[in-house]
Amino acid sequence: MSQANDAGYVFEGVPLEPVSEGTNILVTGPSLGGLRQLLLGLLAGPSEEGILLVAADVSATEAVGDFKAIGGNVDPSRMCLIDCAQDSSESESEQIHGVATPADLTGIGMSFSQLYEQLHASGTARVRTGLYTLGPLLMYADDIRPVYRFLHTVTGRIQSVDGLGVCAVDPAAQDERTIKSVAQTFDGQVELRERDGTHQIRSHGLSGQPDGWHSVDINGTARSHQ
């Protein structure tokens, strides 16, 4: 096993220690306060790792643009997306699967499995999976239970193949009971807040992480140590 694998999944430009393979993280914070940039920064790993992004709030094209904006390396052979926008069929390709609505959890799950297998078949051993954001899935669901089962299945798959899962949600848009139920499917949580014009994060439930709040540059997370 290489030193990169020994180190687990590393986060350049984010004040977090590496996490072990198979870890799933719930990221919480304000949607308009840097949540998307933080999630994308956590997905921006070494060039040999793959990325699978479920774009529930924005189109695949916009998600790729945002990833480039934070300094992420877009390699079509190692980056796949699930576009949940209703007009997503226009941009479908081998790397982009369209799902008509965030309510189609079965369709999202099928595309997730197919694209994950595709990345592994191409020789990508380690994959970072992101979901931005959980809000539309919860909004379209009449009951939280289908969403919980979906997350349980996805995070279980990520754990079984030594991947990394990162899911974002704005807690202000959901009730406390929903957030607590969702959090049960993840290994730990990273909170984002803004204080005096500075973005800060802290972690819960992830072993070996620094205590308290720490400043983070959400607009340049991926390029901070380049």
On the question of pLDDT at 2 being above 80, the answer is no
For the residues 72-89, what does the mean pLDDT come to? 84
What tokens appear for 2 in the block?
């290489």
129: DSSP letter: E
The mean of the pLDDT values for the chain is 91
CA distance 23 to 78: 20
Residue 225: the pLDDT is: 35
Q: Under CATH, which architecture does the 19-221 domain have?
A: 3-Layer(aba) Sandwich (3.40)
Percentage of the chain with pLDDT > 70? 92
* Contact indicator for 60, 138 with CB cutoff of 8 Å: no
Q: What is the pLDDT of residues 3-53, one digit of tens each?
A: 345 679 999 999 999 999 999 999 999 999 999 999 999 999 999 999 999
pLDDT confidence of 221, banded at 50, 70, 90? low
Beta-bridge mates of residue 159: none
Q: What is the pLDDT of residues 91-124, one digit of tens each?
A: 678 899 999 999 999 999 999 999 999 999 999 9
Q: Cis omega (within 30 of 0) on the bond before 133?
A: yes
